[in-house]
Amino acid sequence: MKPLTFVGGIEPLKAETWLLEIEKLFEVFLCTETQKVLLATFTLKDKARRQWLLIQNTNENMTWARFNEIFYDKYFLQCFWDRKVFEFQELKQGRMSIVEYEAKFTELARFVPHMVDTDYKNAHKFEGGLDLDIFDRVGVLKLPTYVEVLDRSLMDEATLATMKQSKDPTTTTTE
């Protein structure tokens, strides 16, 4: 098993991917807090390795929590977080399918955990971004959970597509 390496640079999504992969290793290999730092920093390359060497000199026996703080401060600039928060706040289904909208919703939700920290908030925010035709069908039901809103949205999307197809004269066949 070869762990993912990280070379640095201002690419927050790559940094996050690396960090998540490293943390996945910790689920399998039980390590102390300082061993986690040693394992993670072993996979750093190039600019990231040089940056770590500077930090390491002033932070002996660093814990994993402290490493995360330093890592996030370095690779997740506030302007990046602000942009992702704005994207989430403005997210609407638009021309996306429910599946595409749900994937984008989930991707952005991780940047605003305080906005989706309950099932109600999650469901309400997702519902509020739905296309008007689907929202009209789902919103009146006052569904209490995110899973129920998602499930009903998928069903209504399919129903609306079928209705549209049956009304479109170019899709009907004659014999």
Check if the beta carbon of residue 48 is closer than 8 Å to that of residue 7: yes
Q: Which alpha helices (H) appear in the chain, and where do they start and end?
A: 12-28, 33-42, 46-58, 64-75, 78-90, 98-109, 119-128, 132-139, 146-167
Specify the pLDDT at position 1.
63
Instruction: Examine the domain organization and report whether 72 and 136 are in the same domain.
Output: no
For the full predicted model, state whether its pTM sits above 0.85.
no
Give the domain range for residue 122.
Answer: 81-171
| Tokens coding 93 | 């289904």
Please check whether residues 96 and 31 belong to one and the same domain.
no
Same-domain pairing of 117 and 159: yes
- Whether 85 and 66 map to the same domain: the answer is no
Judge if 59 and 112 occupy the same domain: no
Quote the pLDDT of residue 100: 98
Find out whether 88 and 115 touch, Cβ atoms under 8 Å: yes
Last residue of a domain, one of 30, 57, 76: 76
Residues forming a β-bridge with 44: 6
Tokens 């021309």, residue located: 95
Asked whether residue 30 falls in the same domain as residue 57, the answer is yes
> Are both 129 and 54 inside the same structural domain?
no
| Shared-domain flag, residues 49 and 106 | no
Structure tokens that stand for 53 in this block: 């060497």
Among the three residues 50, 76, 102, which one is the final residue of a domain in this structure? Answer: 76
Nearest to 135 by CA among 168, 94, 86: 94
Give the confidence band of 172 by pLDDT, cuts at 50, 70, 90: low
pLDDT in tens, 122-142: 999 999 999 999 999 999 999
The pLDDT tens digits of the residues spanning 50-65 come to 999 999 888 888 999 9
Count of the separate structural domains present in the chain:
2
